[in-house]
Amino acid sequence: METKNTLYPIFLKLDKIDVLIIGAGEVGLEKLTYILKSSPQANITVVSKEFHYKIIELSHFYSNVVLIEKEYHKTDIEGINLLIVATDDRALNVKIKQDAERLDILTNVADDPELCDFYLGSIVTKGALKLGISTNGQSPTLAKKMRMYFEDVIPDEVEFSTKLLNSIRKKIKADLHHKIENLNNVTIALNSNSKIVDELTLVKKDFKIYLN
């Protein structure tokens, strides 16, 4: 029987909320690096008794990453919006998750899907275009391979297409139905132009009716 992925993807503005990572070993480093790659301005605090040297280096480069050297206490998660647990002590991870549930804090516990409220899926970024890939926690390896595939097949020129469509969207004066129809027509035309950057003049001519 086919298993449907019922997760709902959202894109968070991590510079507007507070993120806490508990644990600063290899796994904590992986989580921190992953977040900063996609959201370099994210507000992140890392709590741990000791820190991987690369995490210390990242904190020197990113002023928005704060390191607190201490053992975990339940008061550490007060006021936190998003929690990532990355210690190598499962009993401690379970306790932290229980503390977080009492405060209604969304929590990801590394390598323990049963304790997760959300997963950190693979991400493809091409300029303003961002795709999130999830296997519902079943196969991070497959998600990684899919990310590599889409990074390869999505052309870098999509950034120009995104900016052009945004400009057109702002200029079209119509109700939602007709605006979507017009944008669909533009998208079809963009897809038929395989060298969109090199043929910028031609593209502008083709869409003159929308840009006026």
The DSSP code sequence of 50-84 is S--HHHHHHHHH-TTEEEEES---GGGGTT-SEEE
* Residue 13 domain-assigned (yes or no): no
What is the pLDDT at residue 180?
65
- Identify whether residues 106 and 171 lie together within a single domain: no
DSSP letters, 90-133, are HHHHHHHHHHHHHTT-EEEETT-GGG-SS---EEEEETTEEEEE
What is the pLDDT at residue 132?
92
Segments forming the whole domain that contains residue 47: 18-120
Q: What are phi and psi of 50, to 5 degrees?
A: -150, 160
139-159, pLDDT tens digit by residue? 888 988 999 998 888 888 777
* Residue 53 domain-assigned (yes or no): yes
Nearest CA to 132 out of 145, 123, 141 is that of 123
- Identify whether residues 93 and 176 lie together within a single domain: no
- Identify whether residues 56 and 113 lie together within a single domain: yes
d(CA 128, CA 130): 6
**Do 110 and 31 meet the contact criterion of CB atoms below 8 Å apart?**
yes
- Identify whether residues 57 and 29 lie together within a single domain: yes
- Identify whether residues 82 and 51 lie together within a single domain: yes
4-29, pLDDT tens digit by residue? 889 999 999 999 999 999 999 999 99
- Identify whether residues 114 and 205 lie together within a single domain: no
- Identify whether residues 22 and 114 lie together within a single domain: yes
Domain count, the chain: 3
CA 154 to chain CA mean position, Å: 17
113-124, pLDDT tens digit by residue? 999 999 998 999
* Residue 8 domain-assigned (yes or no): no
- Identify whether residues 194 and 148 lie together within a single domain: no
Counting residues of the chain whose pLDDT is more than 90, the rounded percentage is 59
d(CA 97, CA 167): 45
Q: Residue 191: in which H helix or E strand, if any? A: helix 176-191
- Identify whether residues 32 and 97 lie together within a single domain: yes
* Residue 4 domain-assigned (yes or no): no
Mean pLDDT, to the nearest integer, of 66-78?
A: 98
